[in-house]
Amino acid sequence: MPVDLGPIHNRARDEVMRKGIATGKEHGMAVLADGTTVSFGGEFQNSLKVPEFDSSNARVILHHNHPTGDSLSRPDLRLLLGRPDLARVDAHGHLGGWSSAERNGDALPVPVAEILVQDASSQAKMLTMRAVSRGHVSQESAQAGLWQVVMALLLERQGAIRYALNSESVLAMARKVIE
């Protein structure tokens, strides 16, 4: 059962999922501060060109589908941290997965956002592989994108984002990897 995000956001989720399942590509829908929506994407299977929006109030919430079902990606998190117009990014997986990150504070300069996400990504991959080698998590879990959840939790621990995922078992596994 999908997470209830409220009427406007549920419609945005349903629209990007419908388009994504039909095409196998990433689609996006931005929900602006006044409740209007802007649809875009559909060009690529694993990436999304996100238009820039009025950044005067930094309240745009971006919904997009992930055909592979993964959590938020490095580009998703770099976009959120480096774009003053975005407040939150949600990824909706084709098999029901949902992940969301909301930026804490103001947008960072793009080079800083890139370094922050790259560092968290590198650390997450290292911690995940260490957990696999110690038998704490399976190779299958590591290959299924667990490191992306670990990366988001590391960014949350640094105070950069607030992260949510609709799988308590995956969150628990990711927290165990970090410990």
What is residue 55's predicted lDDT score, i.e. its pLDDT?
Answer: 66
What is residue 54's predicted lDDT score, i.e. its pLDDT?
Answer: 79
Residue-by-residue pLDDT tens, the chain, 179 positions: 567 778 899 999 999 999 999 999 999 999 998 889 999 998 888 889 999 987 666 689 999 999 888 899 999 999 999 999 999 999 999 888 999 999 999 999 999 999 999 999 999 999 999 999 999 998 888 888 899 999 999 999 999 999 999 999 999 999 999 98
113 closest CA partner among 150, 70, 84: 84
What is the 3-class SS of the chain, one letter each residue? Answer: CCCCCCHHHHHHHHHHHHHHHHHCCCEEEEECCCCCEEEEECCCCCCCCCCCCCCCCCCEEEEEEECCCCCCCHHHHHHHHHCCCEEEEEEEECCCCEEEEEECCCCCCHHHHHHHHHHHHHHHHHHHHHHHHCCCCCHHHHHHHHHHHHHHHHHHHCCCEEEEECCHHHHHHHHHHHC
What is residue 40's predicted lDDT score, i.e. its pLDDT?
Answer: 95
Q: Which residues contact 117 (CB under 8 A, 6 or more apart)?
A: 74, 77, 78, 81, 151, 155
What is residue 57's predicted lDDT score, i.e. its pLDDT?
Answer: 62
What is residue 37's predicted lDDT score, i.e. its pLDDT?
Answer: 93
What is residue 68's predicted lDDT score, i.e. its pLDDT?
Answer: 82
What residue ranges do the domains of the chain occupy?
A: 7-178
Q: Is the four-CA dihedral 73, 78, 81, 83 of positive or negative sign?
A: negative
**pTM, rounded to two decimals:** 0.92
For residue 128, what are its two tokens? 């995940």
173 closest CA partner among 144, 117, 74, 92: 144
